[in-house]
Structure 1
Amino acid sequence: MEVLKGLLLLVVLLVSVERSDCVRCFAKFYLDSGECDEELGEVDEDDCCQNPQYGYQATDGECRSCGPPVWSPWSPWSPCNVLRGDGVRQKRRQCFGLGDCENADDKLQTEPCNGTCFDDEGWALWSPWSTCSVTCGGVGVRKRERVCASHPDCRIACSGPSEETEGCTSLNACPVHGGWSPWSSWSDCSGSCIDATTPTRERWRSCSDPAPSSDTEPHGKSCPGDDSQTQSCSEIPNCPVDGNWGAWSPPGPCSVTCGEGLRLSNRKCDSPTPKYGGRNCDGPSSQSSVCQSPCPVDGFWSGWSSWSECSASCLSPNKASVRSRQRSCSNPEPSSTPRGAPCRGELSQSEQCHWLPHCPVDGGWGPWSPFSPCAVTCGVGAQVSVRKCDSPIPKYGGRPCPGEGRQTTICHTNTHCPVDGLWSEWSPWSDCISGYDGKTITCKKLGGKQIRERECLHRAHNGTLCAGFRLLDRRVCYDVKGCYIKGSWGGWESWSLCKPPCGAGSRRTRTRLCNPDYSGYSRTIGRQREEATFFGRPLLDCGPLPVGEKKAQAEPCVNVPPCT
């Protein structure tokens, strides 16, 4: 029972452990635009933000900084929000980082402006519609555009889209380009043997698969190439040539190595000589007795056949494309009794078809390289593995390797990166007191001192200290808070910004300057002759204002956008 309780407690503890959300982690965050760059991958938010220079993108799609809270720069003033008359313009800034920035509500400023777009042009005329994206066979799209001809400060005059699209239909039928039918079988050879000319055979194809259209504009294209092919019948035998006797020779001695030798007058069967199985000459070749012992007949080659087609239509790096031709020892065949000599030489020949174009070689990936070392010493980083498209390299119009040549994986150092310190805003100035004994010097013409402080915030994990190392600021002063001082009326101070900066009831104010007369005070204090500051709001007496003049003015800010 105790063991079961312990297991239940362990389960409760494991369930209670909070895990941060999985986010897309980026190695760079740009403070001026609030954008992330150089994505590393998906990790826990806590792991990503071990480096304050990083940014991350959560499920809402917004990019956030992993650093301490800091304000972005103020944006430029927007154009006036009305074309004519009184309006306002605004500028904004954003707080990026983990936590809230100081003065968190000070992110929008508004001031009045006057719209001067009295003769604004707005949109220019629409351009003509473009041609339809299809020229035949159904529905396509076409578009037209317009440009905003207004001055950049008057662009609000151009509302609506700058581009329009609409469907368009082409009723023309698309041309059908011709395609060849398969080749027919080879015809029979035009002769049964080779005579003065070599017989041929043919095969045909028709431009009918499909036939080119003639009822479209433009017409369909005819099939490229020839509609017939002719091939020599080089493999058939030569036509027989019958022999015919020549003239008798003068009688001569008989000298034979076979049969009987005679003193003979001979004639030759050479007008023409029988060939390719043709009949020998009729009658005796000698006018005396004939030696009847048969002589051996040596073999002799027939003519070479035509070259075959190449074994491939292009040159492959792995297998050669070759063609061959043959001949036979049949012109005549060697006799068997007595045995004639066989033909000398090759029965067949082959050669490489080196004149063919190279076959396209599609690219193939080589192996992945080992992952690089982790690129960071703190936080999370990326390890990279690459592969090259070199097994083989794409050549001769072959396709490049599909897919990526680079892959990454996230590495965890489990070490938080240093977080550098950032100065806080200065505190308000302290009361102005005597620099000797710390006593109050209000309304006395005695120089004093006052200080203000700031803190070096957010420093952690051995980050650097804030630049400057100055935690205190000091100045010399006179304390005139609530003191009666004569003065004289001056001009107006500058108008304030619109308060509140959005929504209803926004207005701005200004007051007339009552310039105090500090002529009884020394402008410098101390041995260092530091320039004095008059601290506090004195009770000024500038006398009555001229008739009709006011001490303060306020006016509404009109056309202020609602708060979002």
Structure 2
Amino acid sequence: MPPLPLILLVVFTTQVVDSYDVLCFIQFDEKTLQCEDFLGEGISQEDCCLNKKYGFRKDHDSPCQSCHSSHWSVWGSWSPCSVTCSEGVQDRRRTCIGHGFCPGKHLEVRSCSEHECCTVMGGWSSWTLWSTCSVTCGKGQRRRSRLCDNPTPSCGGSCIGESSQVDLCDTHQVCPTHGAWGHWGPWNPCSSHCRKEDGPGIVPVQSRLRECNNPKPSVFPPGNPCRGNAKEERACPDLPPCPVDGSWGSWKRDPGCTVTCGIGRIREERSCDSPAPQHGGKDCPGSPYQSAICNTKIPCPVDGQWTSWEEWSPCTRFQDNINCSRLVGIQSRRRQCLGTHDGGKWCEGNYRESRSCYNITRCKLNGTWSEWSPWGLCSSGCGTSNRTRSRECQPVYPDYPNMVQGATKMVEVVFTGTPLVTCDPINGQTQKVEETAACRNLPPCT
């Protein structure tokens, strides 16, 4: 088994943090790169970062930093296409979070097309004749219209301007004005606005008025008067109880800190029950909660993470030579659980796995060309840029059984090793052919 790269051993060692006071936050959002849920200030960075999920600011004007070691954020959304029609490009980015260097690119670019065609605007036809007036007395409206078909727009185009017009018309005939009620006036107050609990009272009556003035009926030509009553009355049989304002009870403290590791809060609570507000009375002023910072001085546990699987071992079978034969062999691979700290959980799953195999290392096999791969990313995000796709010569595997009897059940058998594969030449190539095309409509480089 080849030795692990040194970088894996460095990533999970204990991080040395300068001891200085910071603004400590309970949550670091990797999507927005913002600190959330402010915990307190005057806390050392070492104490704040006892929990790797926390974040901190050196001061109020400094950016938020994660307590976790350096790693990439999730990819951002793809930017809008560089053009609105035909083919263009779009890009997306990610940010290196924490201290140090993140391997890999922070920018990806791909081709895009929002609309296959570009907009063609249309033209208006001639206006139709004006319609007749909409009323038989007084002033009304008349209309005319036109069609957007000279020429007809295409690919989302349209005609500039209105498809119809409205004009005023006058019949020179006076229309009668019919009466309509105005708004009701306010209710006259009852003799009392509240009552004590279980107290007797006189049932009052309240009334309100309205006028036929919205509008008044015309005299000539005569308009219709308003229908209905100008006065309305109602009884006040159920007056509400008089309000009782609320008052706070005594403070009660929680038995302990809200966390068992790192920094948390200890909370006190009080109830608005001495007395409680009733019948519309005012709530108690202020908050029912108050809290203070508590420090457990205990690092929070960090669960282990599996490393990537090692390469599969060679396909072998005891002392037999199974290369280029129908004999089934076995191969295995391993992985390691790293990064467990302060009582964190061990990785779930197996550290070793094996599978049945046929060894076809350097075996001569016929080949067949694959389909074209998808177009790759643009080589640059601006100026002149290319993209490529390819076809590869893939082996045609022997007609060996793909399932064999294992110790307790049928198991799948895979072909392993690199065979010697030859395909019919394409442009003189027998292993791989590539095709290159330009990325169009990229923005200029600045």
TM-score, scaled to structure 2: 0.53
1:424 aligns with 2:307: yes
1:50 aligns with 2:53: no
1:458 aligns with 2:339: yes
Take 1:533 and 1:562, find their aligned partners in 2: how far apart are those partners?
49
2:215 equivalent in structure 1: none
2:86 equivalent in structure 1: 85
Take 1:419 and 1:100, find their aligned partners in 2: how far apart are those partners?
22
Instruction: Check the 8 A contact 1:433/1:440 in 2, yes or no.
Output: no
Question: How much has 1:416 moved relative to structure 2?
Answer: 0.8
Instruction: Check the 8 A contact 1:372/1:385 in 2, yes or no.
Output: no
The structure with more radius of gyration: 1
Question: How much has 1:480 moved relative to structure 2?
Answer: 3.7
Question: How much has 1:552 moved relative to structure 2?
Answer: 1.3
Take 2:280 and 2:399, find their aligned partners in 1: how far apart are those partners?
94
Letter in 2 for 1:551: V
1:409 aligns with 2:292: yes
Letter in 1 for 2:344: G
Letter in 2 for 1:105: G
Which one of the candidate residues 445, 451, 472 is aligned to 2:352?
Answer: 472
Letter in 2 for 1:497: L
1:495 aligns with 2:375: yes
Which one of the candidate residues 357, 382, 389 is aligned to 1:510?
Answer: 389
Letter in 2 for 1:464: K
Instruction: Check the 8 A contact 2:313/2:333 in 1, yes or no.
Output: no
Take 1:19 and 1:67, find their aligned partners in 2: how far apart are those partners?
15
Instruction: Check the 8 A contact 1:432/1:478 in 2, yes or no.
Output: no
Which one of the candidate residues 530, 541, 550 is aligned to 2:411?
Answer: 530
Deviations 1:52-104 (A, max 9, x none): 33333444654444356666554454432322333223344556567777xx3
Take 2:105 and 2:308, find their aligned partners in 1: how far apart are those partners?
13
2:39 equivalent in structure 1: 40
SS in 2 for 1:491: coil
Where do residues 89-108 of structure 1 align in structure 2 (5 Å cutoff)?
89-94=90-95, 104-105=103-104, 108=107
Take 1:422 and 1:100, find their aligned partners in 2: how far apart are those partners?
20
Question: How much has 1:496 moved relative to structure 2?
Answer: 2.9
Take 2:94 and 2:394, find their aligned partners in 1: how far apart are those partners?
35
Aligned length: 304
Deviations 1:157-215 (A, max 9, x none): xxxxxxxxxxxxxxxxxxxxxxxxxxxxxxxxxxxxxxxxxxxxxxxxxxxxxxxxxxx
1:249 equivalent in structure 2: none
Question: How much has 1:414 moved relative to structure 2?
Answer: 0.8
1:377 aligns with 2:260: yes
Question: How much has 1:412 moved relative to structure 2?
Answer: 0.9
SS in 2 for 1:47: helix
Deviations 1:296-339 (A, max 9, x none): xxxxxxxxxxxxxxxxxxxxxxxxxxxxxxxxxxxxxxxxxxxx
Question: How much has 1:457 moved relative to structure 2?
Answer: 2.4
Take 1:413 and 1:562, find their aligned partners in 2: how far apart are those partners?
56
Take 1:388 and 1:120, find their aligned partners in 2: how far apart are those partners?
69
Take 2:277 and 2:355, find their aligned partners in 1: how far apart are those partners?
75
Take 1:22 and 1:383, find their aligned partners in 2: how far apart are those partners?
21
Where do residues 253-264 of structure 1 align in structure 2 (5 Å cutoff)?
none
2:398 equivalent in structure 1: 519
Instruction: Check the 8 A contact 1:432/1:477 in 2, yes or no.
Output: no
Which one of the candidate residues 546, 554, 558 is aligned to 2:436?
Answer: 554
Take 1:30 and 1:55, find their aligned partners in 2: how far apart are those partners?
9
SS in 2 for 1:492: coil
Letter in 2 for 1:421: G
1:111 aligns with 2:110: yes
Take 1:471 and 1:371, find their aligned partners in 2: how far apart are those partners?
44
CA RMSD of aligned residues (A): 4.7
Instruction: Check the 8 A contact 2:371/2:391 in 1, yes or no.
Output: yes
Question: How much has 1:556 moved relative to structure 2?
Answer: 3.6
Take 1:464 and 1:519, find their aligned partners in 2: how far apart are those partners?
45
Take 1:545 and 1:524, find their aligned partners in 2: how far apart are those partners?
35
Letter in 1 for 2:316: S
SS in 2 for 1:434: coil
Take 2:439 and 2:323, find their aligned partners in 1: how far apart are those partners?
40
Instruction: Assess, with a 3 A threshold, how the Cα gap between structure 1 residues 113 and 488 changes in structure 2: closer, same or farther.
Output: same
Letter in 1 for 2:420: L
- Unpaired runs of 5+ in structure 1? 1-16, 122-360
Take 1:533 and 1:373, find their aligned partners in 2: how far apart are those partners?
58
Deviations 1:477-532 (A, max 9, x none): 334444432123342123333446x4667543222242322135443456455333
Where do residues 85-484 of structure 1 align in structure 2 (5 Å cutoff)?
85-94=86-95, 104-105=103-104, 108-116=107-115, 118-119=118-119, 373-385=256-268, 406-427=289-310, 429-437=311-319, 443-444=324-325, 446-468=327-349, 470-484=350-364
Which one of the candidate residues 426, 429, 435 is aligned to 1:545?
Answer: 426
SS in 1 for 2:47: helix
Instruction: Check the 8 A contact 1:23/1:44 in 2, yes or no.
Output: yes
Instruction: Assess, with a 3 A threshold, how the Cα gap between structure 1 residues 400 and 47 changes in structure 2: closer, same or farther.
Output: same
Instruction: Check the 8 A contact 2:316/2:359 in 1, yes or no.
Output: no
Instruction: Assess, with a 3 A threshold, how the Cα gap between structure 1 residues 94 and 458 changes in structure 2: closer, same or farther.
Output: farther
Instruction: Check the 8 A contact 1:506/1:556 in 2, yes or no.
Output: yes
Take 2:437 and 2:52, find their aligned partners in 1: how far apart are those partners?
45
Instruction: Check the 8 A contact 1:482/1:539 in 2, yes or no.
Output: yes
Instruction: Check the 8 A contact 2:86/2:118 in 1, yes or no.
Output: no
Instruction: Check the 8 A contact 1:484/1:539 in 2, yes or no.
Output: yes
Take 1:465 and 1:70, find their aligned partners in 2: how far apart are those partners?
22
Letter in 2 for 1:539: L
Instruction: Check the 8 A contact 1:432/1:448 in 2, yes or no.
Output: no
Instruction: Assess, with a 3 A threshold, how the Cα gap between structure 1 residues 463 and 490 changes in structure 2: closer, same or farther.
Output: closer
TM-score, scaled to structure 1: 0.44
Identity %: 39
SS in 1 for 2:436: strand
Question: How much has 1:37 moved relative to structure 2?
Answer: 2.9
